[in-house]
Amino acid sequence: MKKVDVVLGLQWGDEGKGKVVDVLTPDYKVIARFQGGPNAGHSIKFGNDGFVLHTVPSGIFRKDSINIIGNGVVIDPVILDEEIQDIEQKIGDISGRLLISKKAHLILPTHRIIDAASEAAKGKAKIGSTLKGIGPTYMDKTGRNGLRVGDILSPEFMKRYETLRKKHAGLLSQYDYGYDITEYESKWMEAIGHLRRFQLIESEIVINKYINDDVPILAEGAQGSMLDIDFGTYPFVTSSNTMSAGACTGLGIAPSRIGKVMGIFKAYCTRVGSGPFPTELENETGETLRSIGNEYGATTGRPRRCGWLDLVALKYAVMMSGVDELIMMKSDVLNGFDTIKAAVAYEIDGRTVDYFPFESNEKITPVYREFKGWNCDIRNIRNYEDFPTEFKDYVSFIEKETSCPVRIISVGPDRSEIVIR
**Active site members:** 14, 42
Q: What is the spatial distance between Cα 90 and Cα 24, in angstroms, rounded to a whole number?
A: 21
Smallest gap, in angstroms, from Cβ of residue 8 to ligand GDP? 9
Is residue 107 within 8 Å of 133, Cβ to Cβ?
A: yes
Indicate the SS3 state at residue 290: helix
User: Which of 114, 272, 281, 309 is the binder for ligand IMO (CB under 6 A)?
Assistant: 272
Q: What is the spatial distance between Cα 157 and Cα 150, in angstroms, rounded to a whole number?
A: 10
Asked if residue 19 binds ligand GDP (CB under 6 A), the reply is yes
Closest CB to ligand IMO belongs to which residue? 273
Asked if residue 333 binds ligand GDP (CB under 6 A), the reply is yes
Q: What is the spatial distance between Cα 174 and Cα 314, in angstroms, rounded to a whole number?
A: 40
Asked if residue 417 binds Mg ion (CB under 5 A), the reply is no
Asked if residue 9 binds ligand IMO (CB under 6 A), the reply is yes
Residue 410 interface partner, choices ligand IMO, Mg ion, ligand GDP, none, CB cut-off 5-8 Å depending on type: ligand GDP
Asked if residue 264 binds ligand IMO (CB under 6 A), the reply is no
Tally of CB atoms within 10 A around 246: 27
User: Which of 14, 76, 81, 401 is the binder for ligand IMO (CB under 6 A)?
Assistant: 14
Partners of residue 264 on adjacent β-strands: 9, 327
Asked if residue 16 binds Mg ion (CB under 5 A), the reply is no
- Tallying the residues shown for the chain, one arrives at 421
Indicate the SS3 state at residue 414: strand
114-143 residues near ligand IMO, rule: CB under 6 A: 127-130, 132, 134-135
Indicate the SS3 state at residue 162: helix
Residue 78 — φ and ψ, nearest 5°? -65, -50
User: Which of 15, 22, 140, 220 is the binder for ligand GDP (CB under 6 A)?
Assistant: 15
Which candidate, 141, 343, 143, 357, places its Cα nearest to that of 233?
A: 357
Partners of residue 217 on adjacent β-strands: 30
User: Which of 137, 238, 244, 410 is the binder for ligand IMO (CB under 6 A)?
Assistant: 238
Asked if residue 410 binds ligand GDP (CB under 6 A), the reply is yes
User: Which of 5, 8, 14, 318 is the binder for ligand GDP (CB under 6 A)?
Assistant: 14
Asked if residue 23 binds ligand IMO (CB under 6 A), the reply is no
Asked if residue 73 binds ligand IMO (CB under 6 A), the reply is no
CA angle 179, 183, 187 (to 5 degrees): 130
Asked if residue 9 binds ligand GDP (CB under 6 A), the reply is yes
Binding mask 72-91 for ligand GDP (x = CB under 6 A): --------------------
Tally of CB atoms within 10 A around 91: 12
CA angle 325, 331, 332 (to 5 degrees): 155
What distances in angstroms separate CA 334 from CA 278, 282, 314, 376, 379, one per listed residue?
19, 17, 18, 9, 11
Smallest gap, in angstroms, from Cβ of residue 196 to ligand IMO? 27
Which candidate, 40, 100, 103, 107, places its Cα nearest to that of 78?
A: 107
Smallest gap, in angstroms, from Cβ of residue 275 to ligand GDP? 17
User: Which of 37, 41, 278, 412 is the binder for Mg ion (CB under 5 A)?
Assistant: 41
Asked if residue 227 binds ligand IMO (CB under 6 A), the reply is yes
Asked if residue 232 binds ligand GDP (CB under 6 A), the reply is no
Is residue 39 within 8 Å of 131, Cβ to Cβ?
A: no
Smallest gap, in angstroms, from Cβ of residue 413 to Mg ion? 12
Which candidate, 231, 227, 264, places its Cα nearest to that of 355?
A: 231
Binding mask 39-58 for ligand IMO (x = CB under 6 A): xxxx----------------
Largest pairwise CA distance in the chain: 65
User: Which of 150, 330, 343, 398 is the binder for ligand GDP (CB under 6 A)?
Assistant: 330
Binding-site residue total for Mg ion (CB under 5 A)? 3
Do strands 66-69 and 30-33 pair parallel, antiparallel, or not at all (unpaired)? parallel
Residue among 150 and 232 whose Cβ is closer to Mg ion: 232
Answer left, alpha or beta for residue 141, where phi above 0 means left and psi between -120 and 50 means alpha: alpha
Binding interface with ligand GDP (CB under 6 A): 9, 13-19, 40-43, 45, 298, 329-330, 332-333, 410-413
Residue numbers at the binding site for ligand IMO (CB under 6 A): 9, 12-14, 36, 39-42, 127-130, 132, 134-135, 222-224, 227, 238, 272-273, 298
